[in-house]
A and B are shown apart, each in its own frame.
Chain A
């Protein structure tokens, strides 16, 4: 079956809808499209699909649409939508389930910098058990190819980094978690379930 939205036909995938429903248990079927979520969303202006559309399309099983949208990567998880939804739909859990699925299926991420950020962040945790802000920034600059950039933004970042450094806020050797074996176990489990960050990692 397909549905037509703005002159394009989209495949309905009922199994996908069930799978997402099971993953997030968010009760998207209760949605009556009041758009309260979208009205209060601070980031909706920048999203290609609005939050109420993501909820409905996920519930309908329009897999292509919801796994490729920018929305799941731009959502700030601020929980404003879910807090105000009259049907107590856990919209952020829907976003989480879709993002997790998009990663597992190796979907090309429209917001590459977002994916690069999360991957870099998790790599730092995997290596140290804790975040080193300097380590994170360096990794991120590598991942996005901005390591040696001299754009206005890059220079502003460097200036900010310097100002933080002189205030003692960027440390070269911040403390690590001693028991990194346990942290490694958590990530090994994740490796087994997720393909390596290929396409989307920027």
Chain B
């Protein structure tokens, strides 16, 4: 099993523990990830805020490179995944746009190749059974709320990912790792991550609601599949009187923990809200 891997900018910087854990977990599971040569930024929310053509041309170049390798693309960042899927959707629907984009990027696009998110690769392509086989230390006692946010699931016709109101793919994965997965109602709410650098007040309000809801569900931690959500929840939460800060994990970090991979501690040390004390308290790290 081989994919053209697109890490995206956050995974080279503010969320490098996500990148490290994706690569380590993929290696353990026998998923070969070939980093896209000379990839570029997908344009994130800024390109489509300013110009539709740019918001399609930037991700299109990455898809063209994956096409040259003859591979489907595997994306770790949910926000990049969303931009690549949006571009693919528009390009498939509009051959004239496709040829204008090909002209500007100087490459041919082969849109038969898929764009997949790492969660999808692990759970649906590899299969949850194969993950279960690798679990060395089940995550007993770890009470988690799985947070999907916006990008993975909406709009469903573009993302083709999971039930947009009640996605379960990450819940299933966490259960296979032995975690105690809580049901809750904020799993697809927006955390305001895209607003964080200009309307932090809105982002903090939305983060507050999500963390509060996770607490009320009985969860001790949140699990994410998006670097923007993870940093936003990790950094912007404001615990109330007598409340501890809530750890926010990447799903791949918990996979690494359950598989007993050696580098877990170094990933977790990079969080702003350290999860180590909590993991010690439930006996999952010593």
26 pairs of residues in contact across A and B, judged by CB atoms under 8 Å? A42-B189, A46-B199, A46-B202, A74-B202, A76-B150, A79-B155, A80-B190, A82-B155, A83-B164, A96-B52, A111-B198, A111-B199, A116-B198, A117-B46, A118-B50, A122-B46, A125-B40, A125-B41, A125-B46, A125-B58, A130-B40, A131-B10, A175-B12, A177-B40, A182-B106, A186-B54
- The size class of the interface chain B forms with chain A is 35 or more
Number of interface residues of A (CB under 8 A): 58
* In the complex, chain A residues 127-185 whose Cβ is within 8 Å of any chain B Cβ: 129-133, 140, 153, 160, 163-164, 167-171, 174-175, 177-179, 182-183, 185
- Chain A residues at the B interface, C-beta cutoff of 8 Å: 23, 42-43, 46, 74, 76-80, 82-83, 90, 92, 96-97, 99-100, 103, 111, 113-114, 116-119, 121-122, 125, 129-133, 140, 153, 160, 163-164, 167-171, 174-175, 177-179, 182-183, 185-187, 189-190, 193-194
Asked if B194 is at the interface (CB within 8 A of a chain A CB), the reply is: yes
Is the CB–CB distance between B195 and A131 below 8 Å? Answer: no
Chain A residue nearest to B193 (CB atoms) is A76
- On chain A, the residues within 8 Å of B164 by CB distance are 83
Is the CB–CB distance between B13 and A42 below 8 Å? Answer: no
> In the bound complex, how far is the Cα of B284 from the Cα of A60, in angstroms?
59
Chain A residue nearest to B199 (CB atoms) is A74
Chain A residue nearest to B272 (CB atoms) is A163
Among the listed A74, A83, A186, which residue makes an inter-chain contact with B58, where contact means beta carbons less than 8 Å apart?
Answer: A186
Is the CB–CB distance between B40 and A183 below 8 Å? Answer: yes
- On chain A, the residues within 8 Å of B46 by CB distance are 117-118, 121-122, 125
> In the bound complex, how far is the Cα of B48 from the Cα of A92, in angstroms?
10
- On chain B, the residues within 8 Å of A177 by CB distance are 38-41
- On chain A, the residues within 8 Å of B39 by CB distance are 130, 177
Known interface pairs A80-B154, A82-B154, A129-B41. Does A100 touch B50 (Cβ–Cβ under 8 Å)? yes
